[in-house]
Chains A and B, each alone.
Chain A
Amino acid sequence: MRRENARLTAARAWLAENGLDGFVAFNDGQNSFLDSNAVFVFSDVRTLGRSAVVVARDGASVLIAEPAFDAARLREDSTTQDVVGTDDLTGRLDQTVKRLGLDKAQVATVALTRQSRKLAREVNAMFAHPPRAADMLSSELARIRLPEELAASRKATWIAERGYERLLEAAKPGVREYELAADIYTFMKGLGAEDNFLLMSASQHNLAVRAAGGRVLEEGDIILGELTPCYQGQFAQICRTAVIGKSTQLLHDKYALLQEAMRRGMDAATPGATVKQATEAMNSVLSAAGYGDYCRPPYMRVRGHGLGVTSSQPGDLHDASDIVFEEGMVFVMHPNQYLPETGYLMCGEPVVISHNGAISLSDHDAKLDTIAT
């Protein structure tokens, strides 16, 4: 029996409120761990190629996806009523809109302006007038995680923590970064991570975290890890720092600043509070320690961000964002920071907003780890 997709129910209510016959949500096959994938939100599947979901106010929902050979998988996994596998997305889309009897003047598009101009041009050619764009609809409707989505986020976090344990076991002088990344990436994939935004790099003095390169690990290296597995469409990210060999008291002292910033940020992230307030709470710790000038790029990026592919909300955590936290939002909070004495350090957890602040989904929050040589 096909699973119920609660987003489709909410989408139909949105259509009724806006007096529309239906909408078409698009994805061109790219996946971003920061963005909402509108096709995933309304079908619960990620596609190999270009795809669209047609949602009608009367209850019909159809996933149309390239390539045709992927249709069997999509029929098993999609929560839409119907699935069409094709090698001609726009041709089958036009047929589907007609078959469902939708008035094209009353059909909106979702995320079309975030796909390629080529696809947008082909789709717009189907309409007499440019359709209404509701680009943020999927991200808005999915901004609060459903119970099953939260459970998947917890599983993704569990996978990330196991991946980090594996990193601590496998990292040693003489290993190349990409060899270590290959090990922990495939290890997490074996635990169920269908995707992974994995950044992992090392240096005696890091400027930032980056994707693994050919550098050979050395004693005294500080390994930075941003482990971001995706489980059933839910990304979770942990940010970790580990030293090969002995760490110094200075490094522990500076790392404690990030841990304190994390605590302050979590306390401030209550329902009704703004992203700006949580960001300022984190920055205040670093500013008080004399690092106020470093609370900006290129010394950090943001203090956290939403996690795709469901919803990008609450967006980037920075001190100009007035977005308001809501109970049930899931995102990563990470006061990662470059400090002149130590280089870049990482400390972060996936969190869910509860009535009294952010709760970490991790079993063990970040600490400065050491790897014996």
Chain B
Amino acid sequence: MLTMHPSIMLGSYVLDEDRLPRDEFEIRLAPLYEMMKTEGYAATLVYGDAREHEALAYFTNFIPRMRWAMAMIPAQGEPRLLISISSRDMPAMKTMTGIADVKSGWEWKWFDEFIARFASPAKLATINFDMMTPLLFGQLAKSIAERFDLVDVDGIAAQARAIHRPREIAMTRIASGIVREMGAEIRAKWTDGADVETAALAGERLARARGAQDVRTLVSRDNGLTLEPYRAQFTGRPKTLLTYAAVKYMGYWAETFVSTGGAVSAANARLETMLAAVKPGAPVCALAQHADHPTLAGSGGHRIGLSPIEGAEFTQHEKSVIETNIVYALRAGCIVNGVGAIASAMVCLRGNGMLETLVRSEMSHN
């Protein structure tokens, strides 16, 4: 779900090398090094910003809390991470990545010095440069002038991340545990008589106290028909509850919905049907028919991991199929007698055919 982007991401982003050791990133980077060797690229430049940074985080663990960052990974030699932040903040930034050479992107000489390592003409592979601003791209283009060709390798980066690695699924499992607790807290506060924003805020407080790096919520004021971001109104209590909650833990997102009221049974039944269809090779477009709620925009779900929305939405036009070892966020929704509900589950189909449910939505009739 699209949610309100905060001006800064809070929470602890320090790299935990017990959970994500150096060799994990060597494995993740191997396809990029192979590509550079095969295609003759001098380096790969991976861009990310505060809103979308899944590739950057995957290859470096670094997540920009604000503005942007760019990893510059040479085919040979040590990588450099350029971050749009003051040199004052470099000591803190260095704790967030295994890359030793971390520099302020406000001093563009560090980019120029990096590309000066390579004899021109040469080719530089780029990842997610479409997300860069024209202003920054202009600065970069001026530096490389006619000396280097930029080659978009977004597809290769996506292929490198085709499935979720075991450590990724492990981190997502922890995030799922936090969002499950958050959902239970929201429902408990609602049951105690709180308004929707107070209930959502209680859930957010719990998740942040558990170490969540980011927390997003949407609430409904109209009996589950629409969702909206926090507005600090703390008034009104619709007949039914519909809340979306998402948390990020060590870079990995998990999400859930909390619903009450008369449409819950129908939404749950749709989710059951959806889950029964989650088989290896099953077309994801078949899931779209169960997303009969206006906030879902005809999508039955998507991948979830380093981004709350990884890859394509599962609409009726999407061509991909269900695969093993990928974490999916699935949603089924409906409106019954003017009341809306959404049932959701995060699932992962394991290699042995077992469907693991990481978290399932909090649902109750009242």
Contacts and interface: CB of A to CB of B under 8 A. Distances in A.
A and B bound? yes
Interface of A: 28-33, 46, 48-49, 66-70, 72-73, 87, 112-118, 120, 176-179, 181-183, 185-186, 189-190, 192-199, 207-208, 210-214, 228, 230, 235, 297-301, 308
Given A87-B297, A113-B135, 4 more contacts: A68-B294, A190-B234, A207-B88, A298-B86
Top 6 A-B pairs, shortest CB-CB distance: A182-B208, A210-B92, A186-B205, A33-B7, A213-B12, A192-B232
Interface in B1-29: 2-14
B91 interface: yes
Contacts of A207: 88, 91-92
Contacts of B230: 189, 194
SS of B interface (majority): loop
Contacts of B90: 298
Contacts of A301: 86, 88-89
B186 to A, nearest CB: 13
Contacts of B108: none
Interface string B77-119: 0000000001111111001000000000000000000000000
A118 B7 contact: no
Interface of B: 2-14, 49-51, 65-67, 86-92, 95, 129-135, 137, 198, 201, 204-205, 208-209, 211, 222, 226-232, 234, 294-295, 297
Nearest to A186: B205
Given A69-B226, A208-B88, A117 B137 contact: yes
A290 B131 CA distance: 45
B309 to A, nearest CB: 11
A120 B134 contact: yes
Nearest to B6: A195
B296 to A, nearest CB: 8
A176 B209 CA distance: 9
A30 B89 CA distance: 21
B89 A208 contact: yes
Contacts of B14: 213-214
A181 to B, nearest CB: 6
A199 B87 CA distance: 17
Contacts of B234: 190
A183 B88 contact: no
A182 B11 CA distance: 8
A261 to B, nearest CB: 17
B208 A181 contact: yes
Nearest to A179: B209
